[in-house]
Structure 1
Amino acid sequence: MDLLEYQVKEWFAEIGIPVLPSQRIDHPTELKRLKINYPIVLKSQVHASERVKAGGVRVVETTIDAIAAAQTIFKLPIWGELPEVLLAESKYDGQQEFYLAVVLDTAVCRPVLLGCKEADIDWETAGERMHHVVVKQEFSPFYARRLALKMGLQGTLMQSVSSVLEKMYELFVQKDLDLVEVNPLAINASGEVMALNGKVSINERAMGRHPEIAEIAAKVANRRHNRQMNGHSRDWNGSETQGKIGILGNGTGSIMATFDLVVSAGGQPGNSLNLRHAFPTDTSPTTFCDRLAKGLSILASDKSIQVILINLLGSVPQAEEVAQVIAKFVQHENSEINSQFLGKNGNGTLRESDFPRLVVRLAGSDFNAANNFLATLKTRGDALILVENLDEAVAEAVHLTKPTAYKKVRKV
């Protein structure tokens, strides 16, 4: 479970990581009673990335402009997620920006410190620009200073960055986290450092040891139960943004690529769920197949979704069981269809179902058995379409949402 930025910064402030004066905004009118000075930055509080490009971050200098901007941001979906809260924060003039993180490396079962002198780092081409230090023994300030030296920092700046790293590690251990990230850590003309944005990923298995974290998770679950969304998307709000193609993927990159391809092909993408991570509503450990089954259920319950496009690639846990989950969903769909398609005279006259159709693309040798199994399934019509190429899968999904291919009616 990932926290929202305003929650992350509350934790940062408590542990001693420098953050700007800020105020949580639940409604645009609250900006009339703003306690921080203008100019300010208004930030949409969503789990989705690329808020700036989407228009979810605005710099404003007056109350009137702030209220107008807040009204717009509250109605702006970013990757299908609408904010329930905004963060109003003082504007900061940074001269340089760094990336810092403490992450649990499951390969070596040790925490790792990460640092880069670029904030907007491209992970695929980071190479030698991303420095790391593995915490092999009990943590000491030595590890933080070592990373700062690897980054080429000196003097007071090295001390300031090292101090932030020490606090990040303290938070990482204190809360049993999977990730603590500061991106960017900005440095102004005076050499002062400031965490302008941050990310915290909570280890779901540790919730039982931290009642305050379990309480946050429970509040998230209660608030979003009816919306049925995960950490990277939410139900669209408003008929003009209700997409017809739901997307299930196993990584942010693959979901973004699929989303863009659907748009380019003339389709209307709806909810896009990342199955790699647990949903915020999950308060107990889940497997990949658990999340796949839940994702299918979430999208099937969305009346605007006509087609579910599953795009899984690479390697996932329980790859062979993926086919069983999909088969179970399709079989349930067939039973629903059969109960509706039998006419009064028993001739099986066809009538459309509320169930969305499935277009499935499983790429990678791990999915060979799953693909073979799904190819043997007997389904009615095009309830399940198995495609090897992503472009073909997207084209098929878009085709199925066209009026000539899909006529959706209410169940009676």
Structure 2
Amino acid sequence: MDLLEYQVKEWFGKIGIPVLPSQRIDHPTDLKRLKIRYPVVLKSQVHAAERAKAGGVRIVETTIDAIAAAQTIFNLPIWGELPEVVLAESKYDAKQELYLAVVLDTAVCRPVLLGCKEADIDWESAGEKMEYVVVEQEFSPFYARRLALKLGLEGTLMQSISDAIEKMYQLFIQKDLDLVEINPLGVSASGQVMALNGKVRVNERAIGRHPEISQMAAKIVKSHGNSENNGHGGKWDSGETHGKIGILGNGTGSVLATLDLVVNSGGKPGLCLNLRHAFLSDTAETTFCDRLDTSLKILTADKSIQVILINLLGSSSQDTELAEVIGKFIQQDKTEIKPQAVRSNGQRSRRDSGSPRLVVRLAGSEFDTARKYLASLKTQSDSPIVVENLDEAVAESVRLAKSTVSKR
């Protein structure tokens, strides 16, 4: 989850990283009460890159110009995203600009400090100019000074930038982040340093451990409920196509393998969700069964989904509860569809029947209780199909999806 610039600047200011005087603008008329001296820079608060080239950054000298510019920015989509907030910030004249970052290197499983004496980085050749220091043990100011020395800095500038790197690392650890970036870090003629722009990427696994971040995530989901991942997971924990078979799995590999098999069998997968991790919208700790219940509701709300394929492999400490969640979902569906009309040909459509058909693949001895419980529910034609072989489960899902289409 990436934060917007004004949120990043708030975090920077609290931890002691130098930032310019700024003010959040929710409506152009807010500029009538601006507390910052002109000239002022207005910045569109969107996640898309290259705001300046798209017209999302404007320098203004008066209140009238500022209101007119803000009206334009609020109505300017950048890569399809309209800003809900504009950041007003003091103009800063930088003599020099640098790039600094703290990033989690998954290859070595350690934080890495990055620095470059050029802020406008060509990432294709960044390896030639970028300096780095791997934080191999418990962090100390030594690591920050080492990076500053590698950048060729000296004197008070080396100390100022070392201090900024230390604060970046503190933020990185405190908030469970994947990335803290200052680009650019401006240096004035007097040697003063200033974070002119920043980027923060939160580790999605850690959102639930930080109430402040959980609230941010919940607002993002509320505002962008129809986003690519439907707001319910990170890019590795959910995927969305526009097919008729929804997929639930207990691991990234499980979900992707199931998706591939559905495609290879001639089916069209829809929304896929990984039950192993919490959703971005979860503001409190959740269990596996909580996420299963939520996921079933999410897929049911998607009227394009005809079949839900649940693929669970391995073990579960909530075997009985898992079966009860599925059973409750089925019984609730039956209750809801009783008063609804049946089509003249005697077959209910997906929209008429309320919920999609269920195909459940449970592999592993730990799921014996769940299998027996679900098998006992086979009293009607639309009860769940429970199998242990994944190929069989995929074949049944594709068959059901195609038969539902042919009946409509």
Q: TM-score range by the shorter chain?
A: 0.5 to 0.7
Q: 1:210, CA displacement in angstroms?
A: 1.1
* Residues 1:176 and 1:330: Cα distance change in structure 2 (over 3 Å): closer
Who is 2:269 aligned against? 329
For 1:205 and 1:335, how far apart are their aligned partners in 2? 30
Who is 1:99 aligned against? 99
Who is 1:313 aligned against? none
For 1:195 and 1:27, how far apart are their aligned partners in 2? 25
Who is 1:392 aligned against? none
Tell me the alpha carbon deviations over residues 334-388 of structure 1, each in whole angstroms, 9 at most, x when there is no partner. Answer: 979xxxxxxx99xxxxxxxxxxxxxxxxxxxxxxxxxxx9xxx9999xxxxxxxx
Which has the bigger relative contact order, CA under 8 A and spacing at least 6? Answer: 1
Work out which of the residue numbers 221, 233, 239 in structure 2 matches 1:292: 239
For 1:214 and 1:207, how far apart are their aligned partners in 2? 6
Q: 1:107, CA displacement in angstroms?
A: 1.0
Q: 1:69, CA displacement in angstroms?
A: 0.5
For 2:79 and 2:116, how far apart are their aligned partners in 1? 27
Which secondary structure does the structure 1 equivalent of 2:157 belong to? helix
* Contact 2:48 2:81 (8 Å CA) reproduced: yes
Q: 1:296, CA displacement in angstroms?
A: 4.3
* Contact 1:95 1:187 (8 Å CA) reproduced: yes
Tell me the alpha carbon deviations over residues 36-80 of structure 1, each in whole angstroms, 9 at most, x when there is no partner. Answer: 000000000001111011100000101111111100110111111
* Contact 1:292 1:325 (8 Å CA) reproduced: no
Who is 1:137 aligned against? 137
For 1:321 and 1:200, how far apart are their aligned partners in 2? 33
Fraction of identical pairs, as percent = 68
Who is 2:331 aligned against? none
Q: 1:126, CA displacement in angstroms?
A: 1.0
Who is 1:81 aligned against? 81
- 1:284-363 to structure 2, matched below 5 A, reads 286=234, 288=236, 290-293=237-240, 296=242, 320-324=257-261, 327-329=267-269
For 1:183 and 1:209, how far apart are their aligned partners in 2? 28
Structure 1 residue identity aligned to 2:239: L
For 1:17 and 1:106, how far apart are their aligned partners in 2? 26
Structure 2 residue identity aligned to 1:329: P
Question: What TM-score results when the alignment is normalised by the length of structure 1?
Answer: 0.61
Q: 1:205, CA displacement in angstroms?
A: 1.1
For 1:98 and 1:318, how far apart are their aligned partners in 2? 41
Q: Which runs of no fewer than 5 residues in structure 1 stay unpaired? A: 230-272, 301-315, 337-343, 346-372, 381-411
For 1:317 and 1:199, how far apart are their aligned partners in 2? 32
For 1:195 and 1:35, how far apart are their aligned partners in 2? 20
Tell me the alpha carbon deviations over residues 191-222 of structure 1, each in whole angstroms, 9 at most, x when there is no partner. Answer: 10000000010111112221111111112222
For 1:215 and 1:146, how far apart are their aligned partners in 2? 37
Who is 2:164 aligned against? 164
* Contact 1:42 1:60 (8 Å CA) reproduced: yes
For 1:335 and 1:209, how far apart are their aligned partners in 2? 36
Q: 1:323, CA displacement in angstroms?
A: 2.9
Q: 1:84, CA displacement in angstroms?
A: 0.3
Who is 1:127 aligned against? 127
* Contact 2:242 2:304 (8 Å CA) reproduced: no
For 2:87 and 2:146, how far apart are their aligned partners in 1? 34
For 2:25 and 2:78, how far apart are their aligned partners in 1? 18
For 2:15 and 2:262, how far apart are their aligned partners in 1? 43
Tell me the alpha carbon deviations over residues 251-289 of structure 1, each in whole angstroms, 9 at most, x when there is no partner. Answer: xxxxxxxxxxxxxxxxxxxxxx5x7xxx7x34xx6563x
- Aligned-pair Cα RMSD in Å: 3.3
Q: 1:321, CA displacement in angstroms?
A: 4.1
For 2:14 and 2:305, how far apart are their aligned partners in 1? 54
Who is 1:109 aligned against? 109
Who is 1:181 aligned against? 181
Q: Which runs of no fewer than 5 residues in structure 2 stay unpaired? A: 245-252, 272-302, 308-343, 346-393, 403-407
* Residues 1:188 and 1:215: Cα distance change in structure 2 (over 3 Å): same
Question: What TM-score results when the alignment is normalised by the length of structure 2?
Answer: 0.62
Q: 1:319, CA displacement in angstroms?
A: 5.4
Q: 1:148, CA displacement in angstroms?
A: 0.6
* Residues 1:335 and 1:15: Cα distance change in structure 2 (over 3 Å): closer
Structure 2 residue identity aligned to 1:205: R
The higher radius of gyration belongs to 2
The runs of 4+ residues in structure 1 deviating greater than 6 Å are 330-336, 377-380
Which secondary structure does the structure 2 equivalent of 1:139 belong to? coil
Structure 2 residue identity aligned to 1:160: S
Structure 2 residue identity aligned to 1:74: F
